[in-house]
Amino acid sequence: MSPLLAAARGKAAKRPPAALLLPLSGPSATLGVSMQRAAMLAQSPLSKPQDLMILDTGGTAAGATAAVQQAVKRGARIIIGPLFAEESRAAAQAAGGVPVISFSNDENLVGSGAFLLGITASQSVTSILRYARGRGVKRVAVLAGPSRWSAQGVAAAERLRGAAGLDVIVLPAETAPEQLRSVLARSGSGLPDAVLVTESGDALLRAARSMQDGDPQLLGTQQALDLPPGALRGAWMTGPDPASISDFAQRYGSAGAAGPGLLAALAYDGMSIVEALRAGGVVDRSALSAVPSFAIATGPIRFAADGHAARELAVLVAGPDGFTAVDKSGSL
């Protein structure tokens, strides 16, 4: 055997095992399978079957706890997943000192022991407001919504109040976009420079219809990327850079799968992070937070010891032909 081949085999033999936790049964099984397929694409050519345990959580906290216990018993040094917030909290509690890279975007998990790989409302709102302020926006009206995502986005906007002269006006969740003028008139405030809709779906579409012909600039979060861009023409939002995610999308499509969603991209990124740690020779919590930045498909990311992450996102403009990246923003 050649020395190079022997060295490569020795390196492969020392690769710390990882566990991938996904809902491979239950109502989210189809999504779990697509995420598993995506994660496999990021594995190193040195990988052996024993390098990665694939475990089913069933999408429940109890299933996640059982999967983590099995993974740790079998020697896993790092856990990728699970997907949902409550199962991620349970997984982090069961994992002890083994790091858990959760796909969840729920910021309430910060401090639970899990590292958040999902794009959070805070990351998205902070990025778009910093970009808007750099383009001359001084007053932003934030339309709240009933979801946990919206509440976390509103909290992020309020933290930026006063930053670089930014004035943030938070309007109640029941305020409809078409009521914006009358609500602000009753409060004695004129129209703002921009309106940030923290929810997706109908609220954002109604706001897009009501803000035309020189009305305030419409801002959205990465959740708006699920909507037809033509209906949001001219809106600014943040999300993964289409250019950086295209290589993964092509590889995923070449494997015979339908077009990947964001969660599939996150699964690919989770496995990419594990491979980067393996290449560095240390796979543990301190190594995960010590890396200055992981270059992944959904945007460069840096983890803090408490589990929250700073991330660079692309600023996207909606147009008739899609979303076009015009800049980068974030807190890296």
pLDDT tens-digit series, residues 264-285: 999 999 999 999 999 999 999 9
- pLDDT per position as a tens digit, 296-328: 999 999 999 999 999 999 999 999 888 999 998
DSSP SS3 for 290: helix
Q: Is the pLDDT of residue 132 over 60?
A: yes
**Residue-level pLDDT at 242:** 87
Q: In this structure, which topology does domain 3-119+243-299 adopt according to CATH?
A: Rossmann fold (3.40.50)
Least confident of 56-60, 174-178, 192-196: 174-178
The distance from CA 35 to its chain's CA centroid, rounded to whole angstroms, is: 14
- pLDDT per position as a tens digit, 8-50: 444 445 799 999 999 999 999 999 999 999 999 999 998 898 8
**Residue-level pLDDT at 106:** 96
Contact (Cβ atoms closer than 8 angstroms) between residue 86 and residue 114: no
**Residue-level pLDDT at 296:** 96
Q: Is the pTM of this model over 0.85?
A: yes
Q: Is the pLDDT of residue 181 over 60?
A: yes
DSSP string, 136-167: T--EEEEE--SSHHHHHHHHHHHHTTTGGG-E
78: left (phi over 0), alpha (psi -120 to 50) or beta: beta
- CATH 3.40.50.2300 residue ranges of the chain are 3-119+243-299, 121-239+314-330
- pLDDT per position as a tens digit, 45-67: 988 988 999 999 999 999 999 99
CATH number belonging to the domain at 121-239+314-330, selected among 3.40.50.720, 3.40.50.1970, 3.40.50.620, 3.40.50.2300: 3.40.50.2300
- Over the chain, what is the mean pLDDT? 88
Q: Is the pLDDT of residue 332 over 70?
A: no
Mean pLDDT of 101-126: 96
Contact (Cβ atoms closer than 8 angstroms) between residue 105 and residue 119: yes
Q: Is the pLDDT of residue 4 over 50?
A: no
